[in-house]
Structures are given as C-alpha cells and as structure tokens.
Amino acid sequence: MEKRPAFCLFRRFIHGHRRSFFWAMVATTVSILLTFLAPQIIRFTVDGVMAEELSLFGSLRQTLIFAGLGILLCTALSGVFNYISRINLGKGTEGMIKALRDTLFAHVQKLPFKWHVDTQTGDIIQRCTSDVEVVHRFISAQLIEAIRTVVLIMVALALMFAMNVYLAIFAAIFIPGVVAYSALFYAGIAKRFLKADEAEGALMVRVQENLTGVRVVKAFGRERFELDKFHEKNNAFAKAWIDLGYLLGTYWGLGDIVTGIQTMGVVIFGAYLAVNGQLTLGELIAFISYSHILAWPIRALGRTLSEMSQTSVSAKRLLEILDAEPEEEPSAAKTPDMTQDVTFDHVTFSYQNTPVLRDLNFTIPKGSVFGILGATGSGKSTITYLLTRLYDLPEDGGKITVGGCDLREIEQDYLRGQVGLVLQEPFLFSKTIRENIAIARPDASLDRIRQVAKVADVDDNIMAFGKNYDTLVGERGVTLSGGQKQRVAIARTLLCDTPILIFDDSLSAVDMETDAKIQAALRERTKGATVILISHRVSTLMHADQILVLDEGKQTEMGDHKALLQQGGIYSRVYTLQSQAERGEVL
C-alpha cells in the first residue's frame, strides 16, 4: 500500500520521542474533554433557568456565577492542557525532524563516492530539503490535527448520543459525507496545483533564459519575439491559477453550504424534538455548539487524507537515500605502516563498461617522487581514486599493494588519513581561510598553519586580505582565484603530514615560476614522504625520480627525465616543444 513509506519513515525516527507524542496525545484528549464541558455547563444553566430548578446551586444568581466560573475554569484548564500538548508535540515533531535531517546528512557523507558520481546533486539537495519539509508539515500540521479530529469526533458523538439518539444520528451521518467530499475535492485540487506549478516552472524558465541570454536577445534585436513568448507563458500561468481558484472557490462555497445545511438540520430537527418534549433547550444549544466545533476539523480531515499520498511520495524519496548502502569496510581491516613501496600489479579498471586503466604494472619506491604525465581522459585521475579507495578495484582487476598489503584490506578512513590528495579543482568550505586549512587538524596553531601556507606560496595572498587568515571564503567573503584555491588546498593537505602525497594537476592554475617555487619548497618539506605528481605540464614533472606516461589508460613510457628524452617518444616531443617556446620568449 502507498501509505507504507510514510509510516516506515515515521517508525524509524519516532524512537526517543515516543514520550513526547504520548503526553501530547493525553494532553490533547484532556483538553478536548474540557472544551466539550463548556457547552454542557451552558446546557445545565439554560435548562435550570428554564425549569426554574435552582436546587442544585441555591439561588439563581449563584447558578449563574457558578456557570460563568465553570466555563472560565474549563477554558483555563483546557488552555493549560492545550499548551502542554503543543509543547510536547513541538518537541516530538521537531526532535524527529532534526534526527531525520542529521541522519540524512551523516548518511550522505558516508555513501560511497560512486553514489555521489551517479546521482545528481540538485536532486539530492532537493530531497534533503523540500521533501523533509513536506514530511515535517504533514506530521506537525496534518497528522496531529487528524488524530485530534478523530478524538474530537468520538467525544462529540458520545456526548451527543448520550443527550439524544435521533439528533445524534442525524448529525453523525454528515461526517463521512463531508470527509469524502473534501478528500475528493482536494484530490482534484492537487491535480490543478500540479498544473499551476508546472506553468509557474515554465514561466520561470522563460524569464530566466531571457535574462541569462540577454546578450543574445540584444544582439539579434529579438526583444519583440521574446516578449511574445513571455506573454504566452505568463498568460498560461495566470490561467492555470485562475482554474485552480475556480475549483477552490467551488469547494469552499459548496463546503459552506453542506456544513450550513448540517447546522440548519440540527436546529430545525432539534427544535421539532424540543417542541415534542424529547429534547431540552439546553441540550439543543449544546448540540448546535458541537456541530459548530466539528465543522472545520472534519473538512480538514478530508484534506489530510488527500495529502497523505503526496507525503508518501516524499517519504519514499527520502527512504531511497537512507536505504542506499554506505561504504563497506573489509572484515578485519588492517592499519599497516604506509611508508612503504606502492605497487600496481596488473591493475585494470573500467567505469560503466568503458575501460579506463589497462594493465598497469609499476612500483613507486617509498620516499621517491613519482610523476604521471597524461592528457584529460588518460585515466590519471582514476589512479588517485583507486589509491584513496574512492573506487575499489574489482576482484579481477589486479591489485594495488602498500608494502605488500592489498589496499582493499586496509581500513578506509585510516588509508585516507595516510594519503594526502590535492585535486585540480579543490573544494573549499564557506568558512574562514584558517578553518579551511586546518579543517582536518582543527587544533593546529596559527604558526603551523602559516608555515604550510608559506610552503604553498599563499601566505602573502592571505595576509593581503582584509581579515588575513580569518577572511571568509565564498559568497559571503572573498572569491579566491583558481590558483589561490589550489594553493590553499595544498596547504590544507600539507598540514596533515601524510606519508603519501598526491598532487593531481593541482598547480594547473599557477604560473610556471610559482609552480617551480612551490615544488622546491615542497621537496624540502615532504622529505621522506612518497610524492605522486600528476600533470600534463612537463616542467612540473621533469625533476621527478621516475615519470610514467599514460595514454588512454595504458602505460606507454616510463623512466626518469633523461631516459625518456632518449627514448624519443611522446615525452621528448612535448619537451622539445616546450623548450622551443621558451627560447622564443628569450629571443
């Protein structure tokens, strides 16, 4: 059944909040009972006044005082319980939603990299925000209200039946009718809502495209054409909402008529019964009050029913995320010393049936600098993913070992803590620069942070910002250039002092002089660490102990700078071109 996902989600997160919900229910029930007492007091008063039976409270004046005080007491108490119920409900619902959000975030963080690549960022963010909102709204506004309404109806019916069976039956037969009517209407309204939403989306796209393409519009002088297209969508949008408004108007109007007839029925039928002596006037007034109290909640109940399906769609989308498998840890994960040789042994890797790496065999000796030269699409980034286990090699894809230990047997977090990876387009968080550099080592001193920033040749840039290291990065702060971002990311990785370092084209946005300067400083700083440099720029790699040339996933050449030059392959051709160009500049 379609109700299940919402229920599943609810059950998963109600844990720890049961007490709040329990007390909320108790308080709600008590509050409702007290609300229903007031009409009963009026009933006794009216009947007492009518029959002039003043025996209960003595004089008339006393009766009236007691009645007035009774009503006040009832509402006051009902108010107190209402308060308790709302506070508990708030705690329960908000607590549950907080748990849901936190779990979603933690879970998304723990999902494998492949999942992140395969899913669309926008879609996930949409689910984690709007769908959570839908669930929240349903629980806080609708579900609780629905339960309240059910209690309300039951209590009201019990009281009504106790007073007069016929009139109670008369009032009761309207309830399922009104609920069904509302549910049906809301289903129809939901459809038109969808249409109106789509029309709004279409208009939005139209305006947005016009604005982003304004240069094209102006260059071709297409203002008139654009205006006509805009009119079309603008009119469609207005029409869709007016259609919706028509249906809503009908719903409200007819709803008013139906509830009006119900009240009228109670009044007239009740008057008839009262005249025949089967109902006292006080009872009739109580009846009328009850049917007034019930009118709106019953109509809301229909709405709740129809919105249930929408909520279950959202719940399903959330469960899809929550049920995705997080990264697996090997059983008995190892944490070996990582200052060892790294060996690629017949490594072959495909992504979505496209071969990316083909039979790689090489060893990176510990403490050496290893260069990888390759163009976009040569598979060089995939090597970094494999080394950090963002992707795992399949069983038949050969193996990568560190000091003889298969990477797949090493604990993931341990491995990533030992391998420092700097990406070509690094991601910085919207925090201060200091926090960004120290993100993996939050207790690092400013001295140490500045030290690594100096190695990455970014300290001067940072000191030039208004708030130095406390400058915010991103929308609310400074916008860093590509090269500055890369250098901050290098500093961030250096701070971790990892035994293995990988620079994946991470100086591509820096000019050659700075590149060389940083490299020299790096070599000084990372002595003893195994360094893997990846680039398409020869100058970045030429001082490496060994250089691997990668072409379409195959290793085509390997050796040090001299050996590769003698080989006369791709490497030497690229090098020749570069020196020619350099000479050209000197001329």
Which residues within the stretch 132-191 sit at the binding site for another protein (CB under 8 A)? none
Question: Which is closer to another protein, CB of 18 or CB of 573?
Answer: 573
Alpha helix stretches (DSSP H) within 15-129: 18-51, 60-110, 113-118, 121-126
Residue 323 vs 524, nearer CB to another protein: 323
The answer to whether 529 contacts another protein (rule: CB under 8 A) is no
**Does residue 404 interact with another protein by CB under 8 A?**
no
- Single-letter amino acid code for the residue at 155: V
Burial 440-459 (b: 16+ CB within 10 A, else e): eeeebeeebbbbbbebbbbb
Shortest distance (Å) from residue 401 CB to another protein: 20
SS3 161: helix
Per CB under 8 A, the segment of 89-97, 145-153, 172-180, 328-336 that binds another protein is 89-97
CA dihedral 102, 105, 107, 108 (to 10 degrees): 170
State the distance between the two ends of the chain, measured CA to CA, in whole angstroms.
Answer: 79
Residue 308 or 478: the one with the smaller Cβ distance to another protein is 478
Beta bridge partners of 473: 478
Per CB under 8 A, the segment of 3-11, 169-177, 417-425, 454-462 that binds another protein is: 417-425
Alpha-helical segments (H) within 403-445: 412-418, 433-437
Q: How many residues does the chain have?
A: 587
Contacts of another protein in 242-281 (CB under 8 A): 242, 244-246, 248-250, 252-254, 256-257, 260-261, 264, 267-268, 270-272, 274-275, 281
Question: Is residue 448 close enough to count as binding another protein by CB under 8 A?
Answer: no
Q: Which is nearer to another protein, 183 or 496 (CB)?
A: 496
Q: Does 72 bind another protein (CB under 8 A)?
A: yes
Q: Judged by CB under 8 A, which stretch of 2-10, 55-63, 461-469, 516-524 contacts another protein?
A: 55-63
| Near another protein by CB under 8 A: residue from 135, 383, 419, 473 | 419
Half-sphere exposure of 12 (CA within 13 A, CB side): 18
Site for another protein in 324-353 (CB under 8 A): 351-352
Q: Is 215 in the site for another protein (CB under 8 A)?
A: yes
CA trace torsion 531, 534, 536, 537 (10° rounding):
-20
Q: Which two tokens stand for residue 32?
A: 């409702």
CA distance to 91, 231, 234, 501, per residue, from 214 (Å)? 49, 17, 19, 46
Please work out, in degrees rounded to the nearest 5, the angle formed at the alpha carbon of residue 385 by the alpha carbons of 124 and 425. 70
Going residue by residue from 10 to 49, which x/- string records binding to another protein, judged by CB under 8 A? ----------------------------x---x--xx--x
Tell me which stretch binds another protein (CB under 8 A): 3-11, 106-114, 302-310, 457-465.
106-114
Q: Least CB distance from residue 305 to another protein, whole Å?
A: 22
Task: Name the segment binding another protein (CB under 8 A); options: 1-9, 114-122, 179-187, 443-451.
Answer: 114-122
By CB atoms closer than 10 A (0-12, 13-18, 19+), residue 510 is buried
Query: Which C-beta is closer to another protein: that of 271 or that of 313?
Result: 271
The binder of another protein chosen from 288, 446, 509, 516 (CB under 8 A): 288
How many angstroms separate the CA atoms of 556 and 573, rounded?
14
Binding mask 291-320 for another protein (x = CB under 8 A): -x----------------------------
Closest CA to 321 of 11, 136, 139, 111: 111
Q: Least CB distance from residue 1 to another protein, whole Å?
A: 31
Q: Figure out which of the listed residues 90, 176, 482, 568 binds another protein, where binding follows CB under 8 A.
A: 90
Find all residues with CB under 8 Å of 209, minimum gap 6, and list them. none
